[in-house]
Amino acid sequence: MHQLSRADARRVAIRAQRLTAERPTDLLDAVRGVGLVQLEPTSAVAPSADLVLFSRLGPGYDPRDLRDAMDELRLVEFRGMVRVAEDINLLRPEMAAWPGEGEWQASLAQWVQDNRACRLDILDRLRRDGPLPTSELPDTCARPWRSSGWNDNRNVRMMLDLLVQRGEVAAAGGRGRDRLWDLAERIYPDDEDPLPADEARARRDARRLSALGIARARGPATPGEPLDVNEAGEPAVIEGVRGQWRVDPSLLGQPFRGRAALLSPFDRLLSDRKRMGDLFEYEYVLEMYKPEAQRRWGYYALPILYGDRLVGKLDARADTTAGVLRVHAVHEDDPFSATVAKAVHREIVDLAAWLELELVLPR
């Protein structure tokens, strides 16, 4: 049983997420290190995926490299997450076992069955003419999708998501702002030696722990990628934190050289908010869904990392029409030392230069 302090645990997590002074060597190294990169469209500063990669690779990162890698299938998207192509084979048993167990999963399978003709129409159109955007795919659903949310009656969109989960359709890069879709067999790498489901699950858990560094063995179910890692790694306890954890032993006992970084609100270091609170004792809420009068830190505040602590939030907006990155505030959780303030300011300057925008600081 590894006995860790909170600082030990934080450093493991930061090292795993490639946020130390030793930066990744290239784009694929960065994506492989973080495990997956969420494609979230909000672009108050820059698209989240680009912010994640900028925070690892620095100002030399070119967003066109991500688009090219996806078009060339060196990186692939699965349910809104970008991964290295070889990771898809770890998901194939889950695709084959779709829909899985549970009442909700059964209802999804029934909806697909009720709209079998639409499913076949989409697959046939992609086979003949793909890759295609959603707008060019037929909606021949006999039973519309019903929900209380914004997906109500978005039949093709929901059908595509389920066909991705079934392993029949895959994202195929983009055309401008449009995401393209094609048959999965044309997108995913050949799987000449498929893994048994148990082995694939164990490797996926180990892959997840390698990216997170430290995580709970068990946790609540989440849509998409799980937050827990089952029996991957080795057991650990963290001083001052209840319960047991699993840690990647290869990340222990190494020298730590931290740095400053501006993080996307969707950065994987923060994706498990409970873990974030346990390890970093950091308070953060993405406030773009709140009325302006109720915001404490700003519409799209970027968490600020320095060393092994999350130390504040950057409230900034990119105004591409005016050609400026406008900083409204730098919220310091505790007053910054001169060293921290200088390092954070340098990151903000680098962010503006990377965006090719003039930096406008608050008075």
Task: Give Cα 273 distance to the centre of its chain.
Answer: 13
Helix 197-212 vs helix 6-16: crossing angle, to nearest 10:
110
201, burial (CB in 10 Å: exposed 0-12, middle 13-18, buried 19+): middle
Measured at the alpha carbon of residue 287, what is the angle toward residues 282 and 245, in degrees to the nearest 5? 35
Res. 153: pLDDT tops 60: no
Closest by CA position to 224, among listed 37, 24, 18: 37
Contact 213, 247 (CB under 8 A): yes
Query: What DSSP designation does 188 have?
Result: S
Confidence band, pLDDT 50/70/90 cuts, at residue 149: low
Looking at residue 222, its pLDDT comes to 83
Contact 12, 248 (CB under 8 A): yes
Mean per-residue pLDDT for 252-260? Answer: 95
* pLDDT > 70 fraction of the chain, expressed in percent and rounded: 98
DSSP 3-state of 336: coil
208-255: pLDDT as tens digits:
999 999 999 998 888 789 999 999 999 999 999 999 999 999 999 999
- Residue 325, both tokens: 């990155």
Query: What DSSP designation does 24 have?
Result: -
Distances (CA, A) of 238 to 215, 235, 242, 273, 345: 11, 10, 8, 17, 32
301-349: pLDDT as tens digits:
999 999 999 999 999 999 999 999 999 999 999 999 999 999 999 999 9
Q: CB within 8 A of 178, min separation 6: which ones?
A: 133, 134, 135
Report phi then psi at 92, rounded to 5. Answer: -60, -40
Q: Where are the domains of the chain?
A: 2-61+199-251, 89-187, 260-360
Query: What DSSP designation does 310 have?
Result: E
Confidence band, pLDDT 50/70/90 cuts, at residue 151: low
Mean pLDDT of the chain: 94
Closest by CA position to 183, among listed 163, 157, 153, 155: 163
How many whole angstroms separate alpha carbon 351 and alpha carbon 363? 19
Q: CB within 8 A of 108, min separation 6: which ones?
A: 99, 162
Contact 274, 236 (CB under 8 A): no
Q: Enumerate long-range contacts of 200-206, CB under 8 Å, 24 or more apart.
A: 200/89, 200/90, 200/91, 200/92, 200/93, 200/94, 201/93, 201/230, 202/230, 202/231, 202/232, 203/90, 204/90, 204/91, 205/229, 205/230, 205/231, 205/232, 206/232, 206/233
Task: Name the amino acid, one letter, at 336.
Answer: F
pTM attached to this predicted model: 0.93
Looking at residue 175, its pLDDT comes to 73
Residue with tokens 């970084």: 261
Confidence band, pLDDT 50/70/90 cuts, at residue 150: low
* Residues making up the chain, counted from first to last: 363
Contact 214, 234 (CB under 8 A): no
Mean per-residue pLDDT for 273-293? Answer: 95
88-119: pLDDT as tens digits:
999 999 999 999 889 999 999 999 999 999 99
26-50: pLDDT as tens digits:
999 999 999 999 999 889 999 999 9
Domain 89-187 fold is Arc Repressor Mutant, subunit A (1.10.10)
Closest by CA position to 56, among listed 82, 86, 22, 7: 22
